[in-house]
Amino acid sequence: MDKITDKKNVNILIIEDEIAIAQGLVDLCEYKGYRGEFVQDGALGLQKALSGKYDLIILDLMLPGLDGFSVCNGIREKDREIPIIILSAKTSENDIIEGLNLGADDYISKPFSVEQLFARVQAVLRRSHKTVNPDEVLKIGDLEVRFRDFMGKKGNETLEFTRKEIEILQYLWTHCNRVIPRHELLQEVWGYENAEAVDTRTVDIHITKLRKKIEDDSSRPKYLTTLRGEGYQLNSLDEV
């Protein structure tokens, strides 16, 4: 029995300064069968997040001591694999983009639906325990991405990727030259059930992040293209 099947062995850290929300989320974790713990301070939250004890971080942005953006960045500097879901009242487009650019797996705005939150928690946990094929290497033109260590290069430039970026690239590479609808990425990469009903910008923002890393000109992509209204396509060398 793995940790996701045996929920009581799944540890979730909630970094949230509003005590009512934090305690409520801990209670909900326990109701859903997980172990929940909360801290109200950003610096302490970062320290705990890097302890290796947790399987998922639920992170507020407006925190005392160290804001959530800094906490997210601090986690990703040391750990590119642990799932992070931002849960915040900061709902502007710039805030969402910044949070996802720093490496969060998903961004949920307050006020939030409890069932929606835990549907995403379950999806992220499910996907985080799916093994990335370590032997695969993506090669297109002067771009090379090693799935094993989340690293790559483009010409002489070294590239670093988060686990979620690698999962997106791996899925697109597996289906190279085929248009992948947005809802298919949400279902296969994020693990969301009923993905067509999920309202989130996370796919678009992750695709934008990837383009900035792998393209010569992200405004005129040749490797990772969009077919408006249809989806995304990773093109092989023969197609670019």
Which residue ranges does the chain devote to CATH 1.10.10.10? 137-239
What is the DSSP annotation of 15-31? Answer: E-S-HHHHHHHHHHHHH
CA distances from 237 to 41, 57, 226 (A): 48, 38, 17
Per-residue pLDDT of the chain (240 residues; tens, 9 = 90+): 444 445 668 999 999 999 999 999 999 999 999 999 999 999 999 999 999 899 999 999 999 989 999 999 999 999 988 999 999 998 888 898 899 889 898 899 888 888 888 888 988 887 765 555 656 789 988 999 998 888 999 989 999 998 889 999 999 999 999 999 998 998 888 887 776 766 678 888 899 999 999 999 999 999 999 998 899 999 986 544
> What separation, in Å, do the N-terminal and C-terminal C-alpha atoms of the chain show?
45
Give the whole-angstrom CA distance, residue 66 versus residue 159.
27
Tokens 């988060």 correspond to what residue?
A: 162
CATH code that applies to domain 7-128: 3.40.50.2300
Predicted TM-score (pTM) above 0.75: yes
Give the whole-angstrom CA distance, residue 172 versus residue 164.
12
Which residue ranges does the chain devote to CATH 3.40.50.2300? 7-128
Let me know if domain 137-239 sits in CATH 3.40.50.1370. no
What tokens does 3 get?
């940790």
What tokens does 207 get?
């695709």
